[in-house]
Amino acid sequence: MLPRGRPRALGAAALLLLLLLGFLLFGGDLECARRARGGAGFFPCALAPRIPQDGRPRGAAALDRDPPTDPGGHNRSDCVLPRPLPPRCELLHVAIVCAGHHTSRDVVTLVKSLLFYRKNPLHLHLVADAVARNILETLFHTWMLPAVRVSFYDANELKPQVSWIPNKHYSGLYGLMKLVLPGALPPDLARVIVLDTDVTFASDIAELWALFAHFSGVILLWLDRLRLAGWEQMWKLTATQELLTLPATSLADQDIFNAVIKGHPALVQSLPCVWNVQLSDHTLAERCYLEAADIKAIHWNSPKKLRVKNKHAEFFRNLYLTFLEYDGNLLRRELFGCPSPRPPEAEQLQQTLAQLNEEDACFEFRQQQLTVHRVHITFLPHEPPPPRPHDVTLVAQLSMDRLQMLEALCRHWPGPMSLALYLTDAEAQQFLRFVEASEVLSARQNVAYHVVYREGPLYPINQIRNVALAQALTPYVFLSDIDFLPAYSLYDYLRASIEQLELGSRRKAALVVPAFETLHYQFSFPTSKAELLALLDAGSVYTFRYHEWPRGHAPTDYARWREAQAPYRVQWAVDYEPYVVVPRDCPRYDPRFVGFGWNKVAHIMELDAQEYEFLVLPEAFTIHLPHTPSLDISRFRSSTTYRDCLQALKDEFLQDLSRHYGAAALKYLTALQQPEAP
Amino acid sequence: MLPRGRPRALGAAALLLLLLLGFLLFGGDLECARRARGGAGFFPCALAPRIPQDGRPRGAAALDRDPPTDPGGHNRSDCVLPRPLPPRCELLHVAIVCAGHHTSRDVVTLVKSLLFYRKNPLHLHLVADAVARNILETLFHTWMLPAVRVSFYDANELKPQVSWIPNKHYSGLYGLMKLVLPGALPPDLARVIVLDTDVTFASDIAELWALFAHFSGVILLWLDRLRLAGWEQMWKLTATQELLTLPATSLADQDIFNAVIKGHPALVQSLPCVWNVQLSDHTLAERCYLEAADIKAIHWNSPKKLRVKNKHAEFFRNLYLTFLEYDGNLLRRELFGCPSPRPPEAEQLQQTLAQLNEEDACFEFRQQQLTVHRVHITFLPHEPPPPRPHDVTLVAQLSMDRLQMLEALCRHWPGPMSLALYLTDAEAQQFLRFVEASEVLSARQNVAYHVVYREGPLYPINQIRNVALAQALTPYVFLSDIDFLPAYSLYDYLRASIEQLELGSRRKAALVVPAFETLHYQFSFPTSKAELLALLDAGSVYTFRYHEWPRGHAPTDYARWREAQAPYRVQWAVDYEPYVVVPRDCPRYDPRFVGFGWNKVAHIMELDAQEYEFLVLPEAFTIHLPHTPSLDISRFRSSTTYRDCLQALKDEFLQDLSRHYGAAALKYLTALQQPEAP
């Protein structure tokens, strides 16, 4: 629930709020302000004043004890510096180093807090490993934030520059990369704020940026000096020297920063403590936040402290949770009085949305179809399956009310899975806790969970399915639904069948997995086809939707299946919607079908139009478990408009099918014109 | 989803951000600033400069077109006034007039935005009608906000002072009450900010309050003048005069304010426009927010504008949704550097929580039991049932995954219901939309929905039930569960039975409603006992939990019930948990039972300990519909710790029972020591 601490204890001292100007920090002019504030600041390990017996920093007495009171009531600010803001609409640059699944999630929360308060255009410079880049590229692409630009830098390329420093932790190497940022970022980038991923903002980052502007002369001056001194040589030399005397363990970025600064104290100026409020044991931090009414940023570097007791930890925790659970869609807002360019896709989308007719009875459907959902792929750590020519990934989508299915599904399907979850930001955190609490789920590394963030009133089922499908990494996919449990043997059996049938090379086929259902929540799952048939005969199991909608699966020909020893081919028919195994490059689901109805039917129709053979597998089966009907099915049943809109979508789909597949698609129109069609 | 507009068109002009000093506003010194800003301000109906052809306010050209630029980059602020903050820890006073269910919900969102940004202690002065007071008293009592004091003032008492003014709308009367606030609020209250309920803050209200402090001399001066002038006589005289000339329709508060100010322009000073950003058609508003980077407060008075098109409406909408859906629990945070007194209960609760042992395996259970959930009673409009001596309210609790049951439940039970919903703030809005979209639910006035806000990992089932039970307003309650549908006739039959059995007066009894279950989602509900018995014999219906846990209902004696013509008495037995009808003053559910298990069993045991007779009704029945198992039952099944903790809770409950009921309670201990007990 709460963020984990940095693996290294000395992380506690490092708020990486680096104010860089070509990697340069404030000069010594501000020294008095820092001391007066008793403040955490930038490099407190090296720079924080020592605390004498009375617990107060030396030389700070007068200012700390007796803050200058202003009869006009203006003594509120804890900041000696005036607080100008940067010129209106100035682009602010922020750099973040991130690697792996966990850190990618942290970055999202940090960025949300940044965006909530910001009023300026932002340029994010993300130094990322392959995992984080994959996740964050998708995320920002689908987030479509106005006035936010994102650039990626390959962390792997920077590794050689720091990998010579002995390092205990995987993440430590990424920490060290902050040392080489000045060289890695574009040479024309003059200033950047470097942030650790475990920071939460409580105010506008422009106020922090303003510390550049206000002292710009000073900073440029020091930059020149630093350039003369040569930062790169400086830190490398220091690191090498430190390594000579250290007991050969490892050196973290903070150690090196501290060591360099120790040797060159004039290089650094700490920030006012409100920009680096830490949950540490240091009296310094507490002094800071007790006296400051205005906390600017919180640094989550002391995990133990999150378990409250300390009443101020509550504030920190609540601010963090605010952004952890904040609906990121609400941050897709333009800036006032500044140009807020969106990505071109977003601009076009806005125009299409603007053309929709709000009086159209199906307006909600149209709007939902066009909605671009934020997507956070591989929300949890995941190991891609090794490349195997006949491997198959189970693909499904779900929302919170089906989380209970996950453990059982994992027991039934040992192979890779790509699952898309339709969640709010807050639900994504509940989901995280759910997985962490489950031994079965935590143990699995080959299940990829992709979060599709909720937006709009209708369930965008096919868009969610397409996310799961696009993220499947094996050559074949088993297109399932979350409320089905496959036969225990199905994963092995499918791979064997794919191999035997020479699927990819010889034929274009969709392997049909016959579907059944039980009405019992507690159910002894059949371990063989023979057991299944016995249950079927006993009336404990039915063919799927036998009572409500038999035509959806009738073409599978259950009677033939009973006796079948080999795969057999069946013909498409109206409303056929079997569960199939197909190559990963199969057609996508049609995203126009939102809410209930026709979402799978249309997909199977398109497979047929592309001349996939439907081959029923004689030993394969999957069983539907009971669940509460979805809200969408209730709406479908109760609303004429809903049914009319679905009809309109069907008609449009069929027209598109005809347009795309020509005369061959006529059979669908003809078939649907039969009187028994729904 | 979005807030409705005020019923009166001229509401569009009125941000009631009154800066009162004994109901006094700024003097004319600021006139230039107001004009320069072309600003909406306080009373724009009367005071906003007229717009000439070029769409720009007269006399505003120079300042508007050419804002003074600052080479240091400090030209960001749109505010000519410097922005000091009030003295640290100063108590800020806010007054809000609220009436009815809808406005009470609005107040919550307003207060959330206020609390999110505030850094000062607050005193809320709520002028409320009976409905709003009932709701908001419960809400603030359970919210337990540090450094927030709430006072209520009876709106009914103020009615006579304004009801002589002809008024079309119920809400109009409450609007007029703002005129009499100076007399209604405590005489020693010098300054107060008066807010309309459709305002959302985008910054710290202290900045608004600071406008008092900064001009305190001026304000005091004008206060004296105003006192001399006599505000009360002034507005009454004006209103009377206006009524003479108006076409006898009605007069809203804003009309009167405008008229008074027209006659006494020196009384008023408008606020900078950023404090009153309105979504109106006026160019003024747009000019304000295009030029201001810093929006301070948004006034939701133009409902049509919420349907976007205007790209800035998105910002307003998102800010509004942020607080609408914001987890109010996160606002239970102390202030930095200011004393943050909590209510005494909250203080004691903190101490009890602090004493819990985090290493205890059942820590989560202990913490959950102690959690005080925010409660918003009658979240939707509700008409209390007329007093009838044998009337009975159906009492149940649910969370989002059971919303689907509500329509069916309404069809089965025409009587009053008290339903508690366990929701997040965001889910509460989804619930609202769900009810609004349902004809069946919207039509019902005798169903009270009470929102209990989620907090903590375990489902506090009995705390939620107790909220529903406490809000039942009839002499009897039917204690049901949300996944049961009662016989269509049950409501009438229960009332008749209560009367016949002379329940309240003659005997202390719990009427047992026999429980059944079906496994089918689509199910033809039996319309009589005979039909039910036929379904039972056909195997379409079972006695409740026949397969999994028959002992929960065995004492009801279904065999006897088949034949029974009259109520019959049954004896309590271990694990008995029937659905019963009891007087409203029955024992509460024991809140220690959180999550799955023993929550009803313990309640029935306590009824037995209090010597309630269990009388089974021969024609009553209720049927459980299938649903996905809850996450809590899954945890119970999979976790030894969970089961052990439940056992510990049971033991403690039994000890308390013995302590409370003495030797009579020994039978429960004995009964539970039987080997077959779970």
Q: Is the dihedral of CA A140, A141, A147, A153 positive or negative?
A: positive
CA distances A517 to A327, A535, A541, A552, A597, Å, are 37, 11, 6, 13, 19
Alpha helix stretches (DSSP H) within A297-447: 311-324, 344-355, 363-370, 405-412, 425-437, 439-443
CB distance B317 to A336 below 8 Å = no
ipTM of the complex: 0.77
Q: Which of B90, B314, B629 sits opposite A334 (nearest CB)?
A: B314
Q: How far apart are CA A582 and CA A316, in angstroms?
A: 49
Question: Which residues of chain B have a CB within 8 Å of the CB of A404?
Answer: 628-629, 631, 634
Rounded to whole angstroms, how far apart are CA atoms B289 and A360? 32
Contact present, B139 and B376 (Cβ < 8 Å): yes
pLDDT digits (tens, 9 = 90+) for A378-417: 999 999 999 999 999 999 999 998 998 999 999 999 999 9
The string of pLDDT tens digits covering residues B109-121 is: 999 999 999 989 9
How many helices (H) and strands (E) are present in chain B, helices listed first? 28, 21
CB B166 within 8 A of CB B249: yes
Q: Tell me how far CA of residue B33 lies from CA of A456, A505, B270, B288, in angstroms.
A: 43, 78, 9, 13
State which residue of chain A sits closest to B547, comparing Cα positions. Answer: A522
| Sheet hosting strand B199-201, strand order edge to edge | B199-201, B297-299, B277-278
SS3 A244: helix
Neighbour count for residue B183 (Cβ, 10 Å): 12
- All residues of chain A having their beta carbon less than 8 Å from the beta carbon of residue B338 are 293
Cα separation, B641 vs B651, whole angstroms: 15
Cα separation, A317 vs B332, in Å, equals 11
For residue A327, which residues of chain B lie inside 8 Å, CB to CB? 321-322, 325, 426
Quote the CA–CA distance of A589 and B260 in Å, as a whole number: 65
> In whole angstroms, what separates CA A622 from the centre of its chain?
31
CA distances from A97 to A106, A277, A286, A567 (A): 11, 21, 28, 52
Using alpha carbons, select from A383, A445, A392, A396 the residue that is nearest to residue A584.
Answer: A392
pLDDT band at A24 (very low <50, low <70, confident <90, very high): very low
**pLDDT at res. A7:** 34
Question: How far is residue A464's CA from residue B236's CA, in Å, rounded to a whole number?
Answer: 62
8 Å CB contact between B450 and B349: no
Contact between residue A515 and residue A579 where contact means Cβ atoms under 8 Å apart:
yes
Name which of B304, B399, B628 to mutate to probe chain A: the one with the most chain A Cβ atoms within 10 A of its Cβ: B628
Q: Which of A65, A336, A432, A440 to mutate to test the interface with B (most CBs of B within 10 A)?
A: A336
Q: Which amino acid is at A387?
A: P
* Chain A environment of B638 (Cβ under 8 Å): 407
Name the phi and psi angles at B125, rounded to 5: -105, 105
Alpha-carbon span A458 to A632, nearest angstrom:
7
Its sign, for the CA torsion A535, A539, A540, A546, is positive
Place of tokens 């202990």: B366
> Cα distance from A328 to chain B (closest Cα, Å)?
10
Least confident of A259-263, A663-667, B442-446: A259-263
pLDDT tens digit sequence for A454-503: 999 899 999 999 999 999 999 999 999 999 999 999 999 999 999 999 88
First CA to last CA distance, chain B: 47
Rounded to 10 degrees, what is the CA torsion of A36, A38, A43, A45? 140
The distance of A564 to chain B (nearest Cα, Å) reads 31
| Tens of pLDDT, residues A439-450 | 999 999 999 999
Mutate to test the interface with B, among A69, A76, A305 (most CBs of B within 10 A): A76
pLDDT range class, residue A312, cuts 50, 70, 90: low
Size of interface A-B (CB pairs under 8 A): 171
CB atoms within 10 A of CB A536: 18
Structure tokens at A15: 């708020």
Q: Which residue is closest to B339 within chain A, CA to CA?
A: A290
**CB contact set of B352 (below 8 Å; sequence gap of 6+):** B370
Residues of chain B with Cβ-Cβ distance to A74 below 8 Å are 84-85
Question: Would you state the torsion angle of the CA atoms of residues A601, A603, A606, A608, taken in this order, to the nearest 10 degrees?
Answer: -70
* CB-based contact B327 A331, cutoff 8 Å: no
- Chain A residues with beta carbon closer than 8 angstroms to that of B433: 457
Q: What is the mean pLDDT of chain A?
A: 79
Q: At what angle do helices A100-117 and A130-143 cross, to 10 degrees?
A: 30
Which residue of chain A has the CA closest to B322?
A330
In three state form, how does the secondary structure of B606-651 look?
HHHHCCCEEEECCCCCEEECCCCCCHHHHHHHHCHHHHHHHHHHHH
Of A318, A402, A629, the CB nearest to B330: A318
Q: At what angle do helices A253-263 and A231-245 cross, to 10 degrees?
A: 110
Give chain A's end-to-end CA distance (angstroms, integer): 47
Cβ–Cβ gap A315/B336 under 8 Å = yes
Residue A411's contacts (CB-CB under 8 Å, 6 or more residues apart) are A440
Place of tokens 């149940």: B396
Two tokens, residue B562: 């088949």
Q: What is the mean pLDDT of residues A588-603?
A: 92
CB pair distance less than 8 Å for A334 and B322: no
Does residue A675 surpass a pLDDT of 90? no
From the list A333, A404, A519, which residue is nearest B318 (CB)? A333
With 50 as the cut, is the pLDDT of residue A68 above it? no
Nearest CA-CA distance, residue A409 and chain B, Å: 14
What is the C-alpha to C-alpha distance for residues A104 and B436, in angstroms, rounded to an integer?
Answer: 39
Confidence of residue A543 (pLDDT cuts 50, 70, 90): very high
Strands A18-21 and A191-195: antiparallel
A111, two tokens:
């960025």
Which residue from A327, A333, A337 is facing B292, i.e. has the nearest CB? A337
Cα of B144 to nearest chain A Cα, Å? 14
What is residue A232's predicted lDDT score, i.e. its pLDDT?
74
What distance in Å separates the CA atoms of residue B239 and residue B252, rounded to the nearest whole number?
10
Are A321 and B338 an interchain contact pair (Cβ–Cβ within 8 Å)? no
β-pair type (B199-201, B297-299): antiparallel
Q: Determine the pLDDT at residue A321.
A: 87
Strand B122-128 to B92-98 pairing? parallel
CA distances to B435, B469, B482, B506, B585 from B475, in Å? 27, 11, 21, 15, 8
Cβ pair A218, A31 in contact under 8 A: no
pLDDT at B194: 84
User: Can you give the pTM of this predicted structure?
Assistant: 0.81
Among A661, A557, A652, A651, residue whose Cα is nearest residue A612: A661
pLDDT along chain B (678 residues), means of 10: 34 32 29 30 26 31 31 35 68 92 93 91 95 95 92 93 72 77 81 84 84 49 53 78 66 71 67 65 56 68 48 75 90 81 84 88 92 95 93 97 93 98 94 92 96 93 97 97 97 96 82 94 89 94 90 96 97 96 96 90 96 97 87 75 90 92 86 63
Burial label for B341, CB within 10 Å (0-12, 13-18, 19+), is: middle
Interface test with B, best of A628, A639, A642 (most B CBs within 10 A): A628
Tokens of A568: 């057999």
Residues of B in contact with A76 (CB under 8 A): 84-88, 206
- Alpha carbon separation from B63 to A87, B50, B51, B305 (Å, rounded): 19, 17, 16, 29
